Amino acid sequence: MKIGIDARFLTHPQKGGFKTYTENLVLALAQLDKKNDYVLYLDRQPLRDSVLPSQPNFRHTVIPGNHKLYGMPWREQYALPRQIKKDNLDLFHSPCLTAPIVFDTPLVVTIHDMIWYHPDRYSKQKMGFHKRGVMRWYYQTVPQIAIRKARAVITVSEAAKQSILAHMRIQNDQIIVTHEAASEFYRPLGYHGAQSYIAKKYQVNSSFILGIGSADPRKNIKTLIQAYAVLPESFRNDYHLVVVCNHKSLVLESLKEVEQSGILKCVHFLEEVNDQELAYLYNLAALFVFPSLEEGFGLPLLEAMGCGTPVLAADNSSIPEIVGDAALRFNAEDVRKLAELISKVLSNPTLQLEMRERGIARAADFSWKRCGMETIAVYKKVIEGENKLSSVRIV
């Protein structure tokens, strides 16, 4: 088989779920599959630290997405299909929501969630018909066409699968769930080196509660800040709040909430945190809190649990499926309940140890190897013309 993958996120500078998924999936495929040939389509020249397999059955080619007016859509709908036809592929996989929609090669598309289908659910920002408005239209319209065109749809959780079935005209047997996993370096580490590094770089010298935010209001960092503010002052003195956020807009918005609550001296916003530093932070945190309003998967949950960090998680969408009984859950908008759970865990060392052990065990239930094996099985069934994909699940 000759398989093409739109791997533009391998060389994309912005971190996030699509990049993490593409990197880990491609590495898993390279380790597992020595038989089939793969073509990885990038959108820019790789850098020294770009994740690219060295196996002889993998090659990459650059299809730029730098058209002055149309950028990525021009690449995806015009330049990429032309190259796919030239390369005579047996199958093409679009792993990150959108896909070429006018070409004859059998298509597999990964739809990570249906959050894109309701763009105004969590954001009140309105966009005019300029470039950002056009891109929002593109990200709402093209996935719907791609789902109908695809021979198979991969998604990352049973919750996401049910959401796709509820909104799209697609048969149950066309969708297969392949769970993601935490990268291997999210594991328990020695404290001393990590503690001195974080203290020196970020001036975080106390024990702390950890949260992760983004510019997306769906991540609901506001609820975490409000719950932290409700805690007794003695708790806040013992446990500061650390929020990792790579978007300046979130920092500026959250600072207003922090200042109004009178907790500025106890809250730290960390920007430009790399993966190794994030692993340090997970390991050092007394508690990780994930108050998201909706997720297709929720990879930070597994990252934190893999590091042995006790986890409090919102009780919605895919989150219960991912954490199982390894985390304590709460209504994502119940500030008082979250504050009670924070206090409960931090006041009980025995509970912390139990949650640490359950979390490590739960994270170990997920692996990129299994994800890669199941993805290869989907490729095989699609090329062989099978329509029912439910049997590819590997336990």
- Over residues 211-226, the pLDDT tens digits come to 998 878 899 999 999 9
Residue pLDDT, tens place only, 3-31 = 999 999 999 887 788 999 999 999 999 99
DSSP sequence for 166-215 = HHS---GGGEEE------TT-S---HHHHHHHHHHHH---SEEEEEE--S
40 vs 52: CA distance, rounded Å: 9
Same domain, 317 and 372: no
Asked whether residue 236 falls in the same domain as residue 372, the answer is no
Stretch 155-178: mean pLDDT = 96
Domain CATH for 346: 3.40.50.2000
> Same structural domain for residues 206 and 142?
no
Residues 172 and 196 in one domain: no
Do 242 and 337 share a structural domain? yes
- State residue 121's pLDDT score: 81
**Residue pair 51/15 in contact by the 8 Å Cβ criterion:** no
Is 186 within a domain?
no
Q: Are residues 27 and 131 in the same domain?
A: yes
- Do both 219 and 259 map to the same domain? yes
The answer for residues whose C-beta is within 8 angstroms of residue 290's C-beta and 6 or more apart is 211, 212, 298, 300, 301, 304, 311, 312, 313, 314, 319
Q: Say how many domains are in the chain.
A: 2
Are 111 and 201 found together in one domain? no
DSSP state of 71: H
Q: Please report where in the chains the tokens 């800040």 appear, as a residue.
A: 225
User: Where does the pLDDT of residue 374 fall: very low under 50, low under 70, confident under 90, or very high at 90 and above?
Assistant: very high
Residues whose CB falls within 8 Å of the CB of residue 389, separated by 6 or more in sequence, listed in order: 152, 173, 174, 175, 176, 378, 381
Residues 100 and 170 in one domain: yes
**pLDDT value of residue 394:** 61
Neighbours of 55 (CB within 10 A): 12
Distance CA 155, CA 164 (A): 9
Strands 2-6 and 37-42, by their bridges, are parallel
Tokens of 56: 């002889």
235 versus 15: which is more confidently predicted? 235
**255-307 pLDDT, tens digit each:** 888 988 899 999 999 998 999 999 999 999 999 999 999 999 999 999 999 99
Owning domain of residue 41 = 2-181+367-388
Mean predicted confidence (pLDDT) in 29-39? 98
Residue 171: how many CA atoms within 13 Å on its side-chain side?
A: 10
Distance CA 281, CA 177 (A): 30
Distance of CA 259 to the CA centre of its chain: 30
Instruction: Based on the fold, state whether residues 91 and 226 are members of the same structural domain.
Output: no
Is the predicted pLDDT of residue 89 greater than 70, yes or no? yes
Task: Say yes or no: 334 and 371 in one domain.
Answer: no
Judge whether residue 319 has pLDDT over 70. yes
Does a structural domain hold residue 395?
A: no
Tell whether pTM > 0.85: yes
Tell which phi-psi region holds residue 252, choosing left (phi > 0), alpha (psi between -120 and 50) or beta. Answer: alpha
Q: Answer for the pair 188, 182: CB distance below 8 angstroms, yes or no.
A: no
